[in-house]
């Protein structure tokens, strides 16, 4: 830039003012001259130096569990899109999940002076993670105290209070799973089985609780719950066990032989549901004739799956852009964002 200034015959200050959006803008003649010089010399501003001199870095940190999981990569698309629109850039951290690695990512982003941090991915609320959650919270508070903005997609960070001023973009897990239960009951299902992740995985727990609540409101008994991995293999494993039960006629086995599926399985995510269907099929069970299966998320890549999967559609990409909007706005809206989601009943839970 020094060279640009000299080439244009102006001071560094002036060159800086025309090249970057300063409030004070030099005269037209000078501006043109500087711009021409910059173009001629192929000048590219050093964003690091700018970041050091200004208070903001133009970077937004995105923390998620696994970038290759379609749930997160769709959120990432939304985040990336908005950030790009704002002429900023995203720093990515794929942590593998868990507050400890999330804390590390926050520290890294803080060191790089990211203007804002968006955290996606379920919170873990267990005894065991209490210490790590505490550290994550401390790290976020320190980051915020130094001027950083924070948004969490899903649930608030465990232990955080409204006063912390972290933005939350809630995912309507509870409402949608409640609705899903209602719709499935309405479609005639009576016996349910829930495949959930380990206890303490808040996203899974919310979906579980919402579903049970929905059954209750429909006047049905609570569903049996099987805890398993909150991923494809978890769904598969649980389904294999279920298939063995059904095929051997144990207490959990098929009841209404002939008239519709014996049981309707609600897997706490689409990916789990897909694993479950694979497991059931391998054991000779047909979907939905023998067992009905519903998922959650409406993952795009799975929309052509057969049988078409009943699920709850989440506006994942919008959740990402909304989080960015809140965290980057001068005057962010105070009212909580209400995500639009809805139930999609498809072939996988048809009853006759």
Partner DNA sequence: CTGAAAGCGCTTACAG
Q: Which of 37, 74, 122, 203 binds its own copies (CB under 8 A)?
A: 74
- Under the binding rule (CB under 7 A), the answer on residue 89 touching DNA is no
Distances (CA, A) of 103 to 64, 91, 108, 140: 12, 15, 9, 8
Q: How far apart are CA 294 and CA 282, in angstroms?
A: 18
- Under the binding rule (CB under 7 A), the answer on residue 26 touching DNA is yes
Tallying the residues shown for the chain, one arrives at 352
Cis, bond preceding 307 (omega within 30 deg of 0): yes
List of E strands, 23-72 = 59-64
Q: How far apart are CA 292 and CA 151, in angstroms?
A: 37
Q: Which of 10, 136, 202, 274 binds DNA (CB under 7 A)?
A: 10
Positions in 197-256 near its own copies (CB under 8 A) = 232
- Under the binding rule (CB under 7 A), the answer on residue 36 touching DNA is no
- Under the binding rule (CB under 8 A), the answer on residue 110 touching its own copies is yes
- Under the binding rule (CB under 8 A), the answer on residue 56 touching its own copies is no
CB 115 → DNA: shortest distance, Å? 13
- Nearest CB to its own copies, comparing residues 10 and 93: 93
- Under the binding rule (CB under 8 A), the answer on residue 315 touching its own copies is no
- Under the binding rule (CB under 7 A), the answer on residue 108 touching DNA is no
Could you tell me which of 174, 144, 165, 176 has the C-alpha nearest to residue 61?
Answer: 144
Q: Which of 32, 36, 39, 52 binds DNA (CB under 7 A)?
A: 52
Which strand ranges, in their side-by-side order, compose the sheet holding 224-227?
A: 224-227, 192-196, 263-267, 291-294
90 binding partner (options DNA, its own copies, none; Cβ < 5 to 8 Å by kind): its own copies
Neighbours of 29 (CB within 10 A): 8
174 binding partner (options DNA, its own copies, none; Cβ < 5 to 8 Å by kind): none
Q: How far apart are CA 9 and CA 6, in angstroms?
A: 5
In the complex, the residues that contact its own copies under the rule CB under 8 A are: 42, 44-49, 51-52, 57, 59, 62, 66-70, 73-74, 76-77, 80-81, 84, 89-94, 107-108, 110-113, 142, 232, 271, 274-275, 277-278, 281, 299-302, 304-306, 317
């Amino acid at each position: 830039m020094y060279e640009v200034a000299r080439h244009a015959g102006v001071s560094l200050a002036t060159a800086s003012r025309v090249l970057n959006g300063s409030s004070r803008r030099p005269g037209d003649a000078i501006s043109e001259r500087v711009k021409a010089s910059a173009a001629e010399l192929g000048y590219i501003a050093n964003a690091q130096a700018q970041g050091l001199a200004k208070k903001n870095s133009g970077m937004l940190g995105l923390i998620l569990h696994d970038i290759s999981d379609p749930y997160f990569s769709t959120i990432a698309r939304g985040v990336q899109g908005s950030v790009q629109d704002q002429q900023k850039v995203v720093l990515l951290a794929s942590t593998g999940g868990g507050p400890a690695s999330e804390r590390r990512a926050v520290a890294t982003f803080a060191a790089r002076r990211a203007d804002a941090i968006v955290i996606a991915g379920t919170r873990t609320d267990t005894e065991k993670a209490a210490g790590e959650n505490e550290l994550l919270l401390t790290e976020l508070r320190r980051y915020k105290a130094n001027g950083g903005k924070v948004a969490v997609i899903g649930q608030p960070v465990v232990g955080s209070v409204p006063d912390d001023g972290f933005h939350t973009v809630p995912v309507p897990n509870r409402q949608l799973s409640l609705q899903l239960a209602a719709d499935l009951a309405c479609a005639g299902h009576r016996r349910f089985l829930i495949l959930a992740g380990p206890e303490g995985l808040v996203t899974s727990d919310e979906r579980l609780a919402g579903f049970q609540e929905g059954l209750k409101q429909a006047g049905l008994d609570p569903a049996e719950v099987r805890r398993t991995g909150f991923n494809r293999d978890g769904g598969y494993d649980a389904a294999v066990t279920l298939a063995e039960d059904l095929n051997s006629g144990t207490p959990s086995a098929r009841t209404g032989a002939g008239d519709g599926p014996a049981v309707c399985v609600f897997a706490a995510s689409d990916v789990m549901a897909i694993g479950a269907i694979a497991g059931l099929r391998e054991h000779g069970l047909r979907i939905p004739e023998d067992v009905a299966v519903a998922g959650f998320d409406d993952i795009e890549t799975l929309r052509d799956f057969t049988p078409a999967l009943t699920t709850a559609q989440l506006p994942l990409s919008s959740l990402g852009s909304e989080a960015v909007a809140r965290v980057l706005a001068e005057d962010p809206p105070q009212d909580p964002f209400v995500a639009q989601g809805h139930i999609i009943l498809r072939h996988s839970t048809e009853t006759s």
